[in-house]
Amino acid sequence: MDLDTILRKHRDSEGPLLPILRDIQAAFGCISEAHKREVAQALNLTRAEVHGVASFYHDLRDAPADRPIIRLCHAEACQARGGRALVAAAERIADGRVLTEAVYCLGLCAVGPSAIVGDEIHARLTPAKLAALIEKAAA
Amino acid sequence: MIRVIHVSDDAVAHALGVDAVVAALRTAAPEAELRRVSGWGMHWLEPIIEVDGIGYGPVAAEDVQAILAGEADHLRLGIIAEHPWIAGQDRLTFARAGKTRPLSLEDYAATGGWVGLNAARARPAQAVLDEVKASGLRGRGGAGFPAGIKWQTVADTPGAVKYIVANADEGDSGTFADRMLMEGDPYGLIEGMAIAGYAVGARKGYIYIRSEYPHAIARLEAAIALSRAIVAPFDVEVRVGAGAYVCGEETSLLNSLEGKRGEVRAKPPLPAIEGLFGRPTVVNNVLTLAAIPWILAHGGVAYAAYGMGRSRGTMPLQIAGNVRYGGLYETAFGITLGDIVNRIGGGSESGAPVRAVQVGGPLGAYFPPALFDTPFDYESFAARDGLIGHGGVVVFDASVDMLAQARFAMEFCAHESCGKCTPCRIGSTRGVEALDRVRAGGRSAPDNVERLPQMRNAKGPQPGAAAELALVEDLCDTMASTSLCALGGFTPYPVMSAIRHFPEDFGAGTPVAEAAE
């Protein structure tokens, strides 16, 4: 989807800024300076207002990720099931080939530790299962 | 005879490889009718399948042949509805869990769907409001505000445009009831919202859902499209968040829906009077709205017959963390915490003794086994400096380091703070630092500020962890009293409860003075 299509899609919705930014993030992998200016123009906002919103939310990036991303749950229920050790292991196994980011709860709290890659969810992770995930993502 | 095989379609089953099980079933039994149904909530047994009514779990693809041949006794669960873990529940909101195909309008109508909406629309709006008030239903998101009173306020506030907002930003660790409901029974939420719309005079509803729930988002969007004609003229739209925990706070959620930064608003004005785009708005949690169809179908008095004290009805508990039998357990208020953890949850999965239980998400207190007699209701938990929040119960075994948990609470607050108020934005970071100094056993050298010439008359650094701990307690007191919303205001719950109930983890076994009264 190009930017014009995204803007047109949300033309009639109330409070369209966040859905627009989410669509831009999905289509382009980030919200660039040029995107911010165009969105501001289209919605009659200042560039600063758009930047303020884009920089508030953890999901929105201002530059595309240069590596595949695995998001591991860092929250309490996964900690109770060995999540802290797994987070430490993830860094080691990934060794810079994939980005291991934090996510706070995937709603899989009785079967943790869990992770999400794109829209694909994984639970009951062990170091071996996590290593397989990382290899798959890095390939 | 053609076999009917039910396969769980819950995200937990997906995360544990149900797709491979489905592929194996299609190969092994191509003639069978596969039905993807909602999850029962028995998460330790997922993926669950039922072959002609007999349940099996946890099923892996290589078990499929044996199950179909009737040779998988070690996985056999029998009739799941009769399993003691299910039979012991009071499933009102989750009556359909495990039984129906989530998007099937036929299944929904056959299990009492739309009865509540039709009952509501056959009556004057005020009668619907009175029914909700009679039920005693309180907000299931955590604040526990009476739903009927909130609705009445919105109904009584004049305005041509009003909104219903379902708060599906279920960010608390240890909670998944909203997710399960939206994935498994999406029409239940839509029906509840339509009833709310009729009662208060709103024609537009938004479901604000977190981006971490991709399955639930897809399910809701499909369900809205399929049920549009039934709930019309009420209209529902899904809005997806972007990874901000604080947007589960209602005023921050409204700002986010309006396309602003998800910063909290000062209250008053209440959202019921000036909410979304300044219009009167009902903001309710998913579970609150999903309880409504049952209340309208069976009567508020019947709902209020469940529960204790001022906590009426049922609560879908989410038993999570290091626990043997984890999952969704809907029961009337009043059950004790010990019963939840030991009798229902079966104690820790690791087999080590249970040491702490965090109730109510990252802003909830840690309870030691000594407090396991606490009944599960809003007031009893408040009386013991805790909260039930959204009903999440996270179990930790003996290996837990409570100083690390207290530090995590501060760290999480720092990570997720919207930045609007100082106690939360700055206090949380200072809290992490102070707890690190507790870990280090205090400090001896003066810091950069203390070395300034202007500070020559100030007291130098106080030695020992106790001085740092006193600072943490003082900081918690400030955060609790002066933060704008529950994020900064409730972060002291996990921190102070950890310090008070587990003082041995906070340095040299020194007993710690009572605080945060």
Distances (CA, A) of B102 to B9, B182, B187, B223: 9, 9, 8, 8
Nearest CA among B240, B243, B223 for reference residue B231: B223
Q: What pLDDT, in 10s, does the model give residues B275-327?
A: 999 999 999 999 999 999 999 999 999 999 999 999 999 999 999 999 999 99
CA dihedral over B329, A75, B407, B427, signed as positive or negative: negative
Whole-angstrom distance, CA of residue B24 vs CA of residue B18: 10
Cβ distance B176 to A109 less than 8 Å, yes or no, reads yes
- Helix (H) or strand (E) holding B64, with range, is helix B64-68
**Residue B229, pLDDT score:** 97
Q: Which residues of A touch B (CB under 8 A)?
A: 13-19, 21-22, 25, 43, 52-53, 56-60, 75-81, 84, 103-112, 114, 116, 119, 121-124
pLDDT at position B356 over 50: yes
Average pLDDT, chain B: 95
Residue B481 has pLDDT above 90, yes or no: yes
* Average pLDDT over chain A, rounded to an integer: 95
A80 and B214: CB-CB below 8 Å? no
Question: Which residues does B180 contact at the CB level (< 8 Å), separation at least 6?
Answer: A107, B10, B38, B39, B41, B94, B97, B328
Give the Cα separation of B435 and B413 in Å (integer). Answer: 14
Q: B448, exposed or middle or buried, with CB in 10 Å at 0-12, 13-18, 19+?
A: exposed
Token pair for A13: 């919705």
The answer to whether B241 contacts chain A (CB < 8 Å) is: yes
Q: Choose the closest CB to B15 out of A57, A81, A114.
A: A114
A40 band by pLDDT with thresholds 50, 70 and 90: very high
Q: 3-state class of A29 per DSSP?
A: coil
Beta strand segments in B280-368, E? 281-285, 307-308, 311-312, 314-321, 327-332, 354-359, 366-367
Count the Cβ atoms, other than its own, within 10 Å of residue B266. Answer: 10
Q: Is the pLDDT of residue B513 over 80?
A: no
- Please report, for residues B14, B26, B61, B189, the alpha-carbon distance to residue B38 in angstroms, rounded to integers and kept in the order given: 12, 19, 19, 15
pLDDT higher than 50, residue B511 = no
Closest by Cβ to B261, choosing from A56, A78, A116: A56
ipTM, two decimals = 0.97
pLDDT tens sequence across B411-432: 999 999 999 999 999 999 999 9
What pLDDT shows up at residue B412? 97
A119 three-class SS: coil
Residue A105 has phi, psi (to 5 degrees) of 85, 125
Please report, to the nearest 10 degrees, the dihedral formed by the alpha carbons of residues B85, B320, B102, B195 taken in order. Answer: 100
Give pLDDT tens digits for B23-35.
Answer: 999 999 999 999 9
B327 to chain A: nearest residue by CA?
A110
pLDDT reading at B515 higher than 60: no
Residue A97 has pLDDT above 70, yes or no: yes
Q: Which of residues 145-164 of B touch A (CB under 8 A)?
A: none
Q: Degrees (nearest 5) of the Cα angle B115, B118, B120?
A: 105
Q: How wide is the angle at C-alpha B394 spanned by C-alphas B389 and B400, nearest 5°?
A: 130
Rounded to whole angstroms, how far apart are CA atoms B62 and B181?
A: 30
Contacts of B403 in chain A (CB under 8 A): none
The pLDDT of residue B1? 67
pLDDT (tens digit per residue) in B231-252: 999 999 999 999 999 999 999 9
Does the pLDDT value for residue B450 go beyond 90?
no
Mean pLDDT, range B21-48, rounded to an integer: 97
Q: Which residue is it, tokens 């409504």?
A: B292
Helices (H) and strands (E) in chain B, counts: 22, 16
Tell whether the model's pLDDT for residue B89 goes beyond 70: yes
Q: Stretch A97-112: mean pLDDT, rounded?
A: 95
Interface subset of B 392-421, CB within 8 angstroms of A: 392, 394-397, 400, 404-405, 408, 412, 415-416, 418
Lowest-confidence pick of B42-51, B76-85, B504-513: B504-513
Instruction: Please say if the pLDDT value at position B510 is more than 80.
Output: no
From chain B residues 313-352, the ones with a CB under 8 A of any chain A CB are 318-323, 326-327, 349
Cross-chain Cβ contact B260/A53 below 8 Å: yes
CB of B424 within 8 Å of a chain A CB? The answer is no
For residue B372, count CB atoms less than 10 angstroms from its CB and return exposed for 0-12, middle for 13-18, buried for 19 or more.
middle
Structure token digits, residue B207 = 């479901």
- Cβ(B279)–Cβ(B162) below 8 Å: yes
Query: Is the confidence at residue B462, as pLDDT, over 90?
Result: no
State the DSSP code for A111: S
In chain B, what residues touch A77 (CB-CB under 8 Å)? Answer: 173-174, 320-321, 392, 394
Chain A residues near residue B396 by CB distance under 8 angstroms: 80
Shortest CA distance from B326: residue in chain A: A110
Provide the pLDDT for residue B463.
74
Nearest to B136 by CA among B303, B379, B377: B303
HEC secondary structure over B482-503: HCCCHHHHHCHHHHHHHHHHCH
What is the torsional sign of CA B149, B155, B158, B164?
Answer: positive
Does residue B245 belong to the interface with chain A, where contact is any CB pair within 8 Å? yes
pLDDT range class, residue A83, cuts 50, 70, 90? very high
Q: Which pTM does this prediction carry?
A: 0.95
Q: At what angle do helices A47-56 and A17-28 cross, to 10 degrees?
A: 70
Q: Does the pLDDT value for residue B169 go beyond 90?
A: yes
> Looking up tokens 């039910």, which residue turns up?
B6
Whether the ω angle into residue B269 lies within 30 degrees of 0, i.e. cis, is: yes
The pairing of beta strand B235-240 with beta strand B204-209? parallel
